[in-house]
Amino acid sequence: MLSLAELVTIPAIAPSPLTAAMLEAALAGAGAIADLGGRHERGRLTLKGARDFQTAADIASERAITAVLAARFPDAAILGEEETAIAGTGRRFLIDPIDGTTNFAWGLPFFGICIALEEDGETVAGVVLDPSFGEAFVAEKGRGAFRNGERLHIDRTLAPHEALIGASLPVPGQVRSVEVETYHRALRTVIDTAAGVRRLGSAALSLCAVAASRHDAFFEDSLSPLDYAAAALVVAEAGGIVTGFSGAPVDEGGAILAANPALHPWLVSLFA
């Protein structure tokens, strides 16, 4: 993980003061992780559920993010994955302080810090910070998506056999939006067809990889808006398509299918 001194050199270029403040909060979370050493905590894990871990860094990051957001936006509601539930009016921030906790706990440097802003149930701003590689993905509805200040735009037209696709390898019980065999069949078809398949361990960063054309698609079931809301907006603002497995809008089941527009119809057909 980068040091805090290195992290604050990430270009804080954002579409507006709103997302600049959200990026400031994400950097505060990264600083809290760095203060704890930024290293894995495999021997000191709290098990929240089946294969669902929590570390001291998750809690420290969320508290640091919450402190910045509460100071900057005192009337806003704030909901965090670990412990935060602050009531407010008009709008709500969603925080995932470490998306990819298993990676972090095992010492794999691939995890993200996610902050989304909802207004009237719609995500209108999102920040995903990768503190290990010093990349900040920022988006605002109608204003575009950016990586460290550089505008992102998905513009490649490609066939399935030319695509690098990210996919979840689900744990037992995770696949609920479709039959398990339907999911496995779709995954097998992708493995047999695509140029390559990757499972990176952070849904948020995998989605941002689609926005940056590092992946051409990504799919996973049973995600929470805390996990995906910020990154899904980054994909959409970069010109990608984000839906459920059926091609309909993402519902409360949390099935996410994000793709280059050229690939989306093919991937939807695999889940039919």
Question: What are residue 46's DSSP bridge partners?
Answer: 54
Residues of the chain with CATH 3.40.190.80: 160-270
Name, in order, each residue with C-beta under 8 angstroms of 182's C-beta and a sequence gap of 6 or more.
Answer: 271
- Whole-number CA gyration radius for the chain: 18
Rounded CA separation 78/75 (Å): 10
pLDDT digit string (tens) for 5-30? Answer: 565 565 556 778 999 999 999 999 99
- The residues, ordered by sequence, that sit 6+ positions from 63 with a Cβ below 8 Å of its Cβ are 32, 84
Q: pLDDT (tens digit, 9 = 90+) per residue, 30-75?
A: 999 988 875 555 556 665 555 556 688 899 999 999 999 999 999 9
Q: Which amino acid is at 99?
A: D
Cβ within 8 Å of residue 62, ≥6 positions away: 29, 80, 81, 82, 83, 84, 95, 97
pLDDT tens by residue, 74-111: 999 999 988 899 999 889 999 999 999 889 988 899 99
Among residues 95, 210, 192, 189, which one has the least CA distance to residue 147? 210
170 close to 140: Cβ distance less than 8 angstroms: no
148 in helix, strand or coil?
coil
**Average pLDDT over the chain, rounded to whole?**
91
Higher pLDDT, 34 or 190: 190
DSSP-based three-state secondary structure for 219: strand
Tokens matching residue 151? 């505008």
- 3-state secondary structure at position 92: strand
The CATH architecture assigned to 4-151 reads 2-Layer Sandwich (3.30)
**Residue intervals in the chain for CATH 3.30.540.10:** 4-151
Give the Cα-Cα-Cα angle 253, 255, 259 (nearest 5 degrees): 155
pTM for this one? Answer: 0.93
Quick one: fold of 160-270?
A: D-Maltodextrin-Binding Protein; domain 2 (3.40.190)
pLDDT grade for 171, boundaries at 50, 70 and 90: confident
